[in-house]
Structure 1
């Protein structure tokens, strides 16, 4: 394959991370929906209800702020989880990635938009400008 050729991508239905085409998926690329077995299990388990709550909380927090304001995923986790919010940090980041995949939000670090699939460390979420 030539280096100039780009591989097709799609977003994971659960966490929003980018899935890049692989040779082993050549025959079943249209059916690939999840980036990992963990996401596949989460889509069928109790996590699906929590994910919907996190999505709704993130949308509410963004709507309540100025158009240029940002939200920290920990605020979303606290809104849904109360005192047990720490376990919801990664699912809150996944909710932000899903909003990015839907074109509703951007993830920033240091005020600059970053790729949500590769962002490490503290992030902020804002509406698309």
Structure 2
């Protein structure tokens, strides 16, 4: 029986166990070479802080859009668009840490497979 899946340290997506990683599974941190090179930057940490800050200013049941986070951080339209995927990665890492949930249509979804518009909310018990 394969061990439990892990979460990529960079993008927050699920890393599924592979037979070729059997001996090294405990050392696997990233889902791909791209994520291994990217790692988690200072900007990524700022985005996580931005998500926490924005959620703290809203009611306990409120959700936020990833674009709300990046628009609060920058007014530059080009930079705003380039930060959309990094803020989604930050949200996925925060889901893995148990801080937030990602929803679509009001329902919690798997962040590894969510496609299209998402919302971020505080984790509910």
Q: TM-score, normalised by structure 2?
A: 0.92
Match of 1:23 in 2: 19
Match of 2:30 in 1: 34
* Count of aligned residue pairs for this structure pair: 122
Report Cα offsets for 1:10-55 as digits up to 9, x if no partner.
Answer: 1010111000110010110011000111111111xxx601101101
Match of 1:94 in 2: 89
Match of 1:127 in 2: 122
1:78 and 2:71 matched: yes
Task: Give 1:94 shift.
Answer: 0.5
Give the SS at the match of 2:111.
coil
Q: Gaps (5+ residues) in structure 2?
A: none
1:100-115 to structure 2, matched below 5 A, reads 100-115=95-110
**RMSD value over aligned CA atoms?**
1.3
Task: Give 1:75 shift.
Answer: 1.1
Report Cα offsets for 1:59-81 as digits up to 9, x if no partner.
Answer: 00011100000010111122234
Asked if the contact 1:53–1:80 (Cα under 8 Å) also holds between the matched residues in 2, the reply is no
